[in-house]
Amino acid sequence: MQYSEGQVGRVFTVRIDDGEDFIKEIRRFVTAMNIRSGMIHFLGAVRSAKIVTGPKEPVIPPVPRREEALGGWEVFGFATIYPGEEGPSIHIHTAAGRGIRSLAGCLREKAEVYVVVEAVVTEFVGIVAKRTLDEKTGVDLPVFDKVLP
């Protein structure tokens, strides 16, 4: 087990509007505010989104199972922010629902907002972390500065 200890820094509320790409805009915001580590809570709706809903089979490395939410889905979720190879790396998980259908998983590639997505971005200070490609799993994983014996 790895970990890092820090404190809460700045807290932001963010509104992403109809037609904007939630993933692109939240990444742009995090970059503009120079947030190196933190978390994001969000809620709202998407017109369309791509979600990885787990692996096709529980093997290492995993092969992602992909789903697409089309036509106006309610969403809420959580994300972590750590430095990555090319700037901030944001790992976003969401639960999405429309009618009696629901999906949960990793929000990837695109998420076009329907009406609005509201987000609360909390910055962490003092955290020593980075997200790098883990060769065994083939997944970008966070790496922290301390190990619990």
The CATH number of the domain holding residue 96 is 3.30.1330.80
Residue 60 lies in a domain: yes
Task: Check residue 45 and give its pLDDT.
Answer: 98
pLDDT per 10-residue tile (average), the chain, 149 residues? 98 98 98 98 98 96 96 98 95 98 96 98 98 94 95
Task: Check residue 51 and give its pLDDT.
Answer: 98
Q: Which domain holds residue 71?
A: 8-124
How many domains does the chain fold into?
1
Residue 85 lies in a domain: yes
Q: Which residues share a beta bridge with 21?
A: 112
Residue 137 lies in a domain: no
Residue 64 lies in a domain: yes
Residue 144 lies in a domain: no
Q: What is the token pair recorded at 35?
A: 């947030």
- In whole angstroms, give the CA distance from residue 62 to residue 109: 18
- Cβ-count burial 84-119 (b if 16+ within 10 Å, e if not): beeebbbbbebebebeeeebebbbeeebbbbeebeb
Task: Check residue 103 and give its pLDDT.
Answer: 97
Residue 87 lies in a domain: yes
Residue 140 lies in a domain: no
Residue 18 lies in a domain: yes
Task: Check residue 107 and give its pLDDT.
Answer: 97
How much is the pTM? Answer: 0.95
Task: Check residue 20 and give its pLDDT.
Answer: 98
